[in-house]
């Protein structure tokens, strides 16, 4: 085809992702995850992640090219997540991308991980409506963004002031004796539970909190409330109704996420809301967002679960937009920036 072939590399957390995109067409999304190596620690161990990226990088690039039926020499541009994320993990991706770009004599594009979570939706649902709002919820981040141009103007409206939404899912799952990562397990168990059984707190929604934190999130108080509730049951020698706790906890998280996202949409008069990140796979979040958004005339876009979690295709997708919008490539001294603002 005439459209540029873009290779994207993602290593900001525990997934080694290599994606190949031609224009807006996804050719392949190869992911090697070290999640099992972290499971026994109950969270991602940075040093373990970096080492796993080093081992997985070359085989994952080879696998991606093989599956897409392209040669490395056919690649027209190399995109890589340069931040935010785990410093050591990012470095592996950035160094690999530089080596590739230099070796192939092709431009290098350092991209922002959060913007890439937004751009990936173009691979599934076509051109992104701009402006739109993006709610990004994963194990590492929970942000509400105003997207004017995904390649260079993404404004943060709010973010979590403590735990990320996915982190809260993982911690509560652990408390309930469910495996890591806990989000999918809570989602599954909650289907058998009653979401109004327990009235857990909605963080940063009081009138006073809204003054300073209208679009920010807080999930650590919720996690503590769940822990106390479970403890009280255990101390009383009563069984813990796991499904009800899971459903009520999930309801509290989704309620706040959807409420604030739609509040922002109405404030700005924006009619499109994109939800991304691993937690976007949550079935209750999807259903609630669609139901409440429809009531206020907002359209919801959620990429399929495989594109919501960290992957290389999202980086390739954003890289591809940068190429087509004529953005300036990055210099070969592109740094990895663990706390890169969006
Ligand atoms: O985007 P992601 O793969 O990695 C980063 O953290 O960046 O997100 C992983 C997070 C984990 O916390 C996991 O528990 C959560 O997404 N997650 C879910 C679901 N599937 C994954 N949370 C709630 N419901 C789900 N169905
Ligand atoms: Zn992510």
What is the Cα–Cα distance from 206 to 223, expressed in whole angstroms? 18
Instruction: Please say whether the beta carbons of 150 and 118 come within 8 A.
Output: yes
Count other C-beta atoms under 10 Å from residue 208's C-beta.
Answer: 8
SS3 146: strand
The rounded Å distance from CA 287 to ligand 2 centre is: 21
Q: Which residues of the chain have pLDDT under 50?
A: none
Instruction: Please say whether the beta carbons of 115 and 106 come within 8 A.
Output: no
The rounded Å distance from CA 223 to ligand 1 centre is: 16
Predicted local distance difference test score (pLDDT) of residue 134: 98
Predicted local distance difference test score (pLDDT) of residue 144: 98
Decide: 249 in ligand 1 pocket, CB within 6 A. no
Tokens of 300: 């919801």
Binding positions for Fe cation: 113, 117, 310
Within the chain, strands assigned E span 5-10, 15-22, 25-33, 77-83, 108-112, 132-137, 142-149, 153-159, 272-276, 299-301
How distant is the alpha carbon of residue 60 from its chain centre? 21
Residue corresponding to tokens 């040669």:
71
ipTM entry: 0.98
* 176-225 residue pLDDT tens: 999 988 999 999 999 999 999 999 999 999 999 999 999 999 999 999 99
| Residues present in the chain in total | 342
Predicted local distance difference test score (pLDDT) of residue 1: 56
Q: What is the DSSP pairing of strand 15-22 with strand 5-10?
A: antiparallel
Name the residue of 179, 278, 285, 314 to mutate for ligand 1: max ligand atoms within 8 A of Cβ.
Answer: 278
State which ligand 1 atom lies nearest to the alpha carbon of 182. Answer: 14
Instruction: Please say whether the beta carbons of 315 and 19 come within 8 A.
Output: yes
Q: What residue ranges define each of the domains in the chain, with the CATH number in brackets?
A: 5-120+311-324 (3.30.420.40), 130-302 (3.30.420.40)
State which ligand 1 atom lies nearest to the alpha carbon of 277. Answer: 1
Name the residue of 16, 34, 169, 282 to mutate for ligand 1: max ligand atoms within 8 A of Cβ.
Answer: 169
Predicted local distance difference test score (pLDDT) of residue 41: 83
What is the Cα–Cα distance from 259 to 194, expressed in whole angstroms? 20
Decide: 184 in ligand 1 pocket, CB within 6 A. yes
State which ligand 1 atom lies nearest to the alpha carbon of 165. Answer: 12
Predicted local distance difference test score (pLDDT) of residue 38: 84
The reported pTM is: 0.94
Nearest to 217 by CA among 289, 156, 300, 144: 144
Closest ligand relative to 14 C-alpha: 1
Residue 265 is classified by DSSP as H
Binding positions for substrate: 136-140, 170, 183, 187, 282
């Amino acid at each position: 085809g005439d459209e540029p072939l873009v290779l994207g590399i993602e290593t900001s957390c525990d997934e080694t992702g290599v994606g190949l995109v031609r224009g807006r067409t996804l050719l392949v999304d190869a992911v090697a995850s070290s999640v099992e190596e972290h499971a026994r620690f109950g969270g991602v161990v940075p040093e373990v992640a970096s080492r796993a990226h080093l081992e997985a990088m070359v085989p994952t690039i080879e696998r991606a090219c093989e599956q897409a039926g392209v040669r490395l020499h056919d690649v027209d541009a190399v995109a890589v997540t340069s931040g935010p994320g785990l410093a050591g993990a990012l470095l592996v991706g950035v160094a690999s991308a530089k080596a590739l770009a230099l070796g192939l004599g092709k431009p290098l594009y350092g991209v922002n991980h959060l913007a890439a979570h937004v751009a990936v939706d173009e691979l599934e649902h076509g051109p992104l409506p701009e402006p739109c709002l993006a709610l990004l919820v994963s194990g590492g981040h929970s942000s509400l963004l105003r997207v004017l141009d995904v390649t260079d103007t993404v404004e943060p409206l709010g973010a979590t002031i403590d735990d990320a939404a996915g982190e809260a899912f993982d911690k509560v799952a652990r408390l309930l004796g469910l495996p890591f990562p806990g989000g999918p397990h809570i989602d599954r168990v909650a289907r058998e539970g009653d979401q109004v059984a327990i009235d857990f707190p909605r963080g940063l929604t009081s009138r006073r909190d809204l003054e300073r934190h209208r679009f920010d999130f807080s999930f650590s108080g919720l996690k503590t409330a769940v822990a106390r509730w479970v403890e009280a049951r255990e101390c009383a020698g009563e069984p813990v109704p796991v499904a009800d706790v899971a459903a009520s906890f999930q309801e509290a998280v989704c309620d706040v996420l959807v409420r604030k996202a739609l509040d922002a949409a109405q404030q700005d008069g924006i009619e499109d809301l994109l939800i991304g990140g691993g937690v976007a796979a949550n079935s209750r979040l999807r259903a609630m967002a669609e139901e409440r958004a429809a009531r206020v005339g907002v359209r919801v876009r959620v990429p399929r679960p495989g594109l919501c979690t960290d992957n290389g295709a999202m980086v390739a997708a954003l890289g591809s937009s940068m190429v087509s919008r004529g953005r300036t490539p990055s210099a070969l001294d592109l740094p990895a920036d663990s706390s890169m603002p969006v």
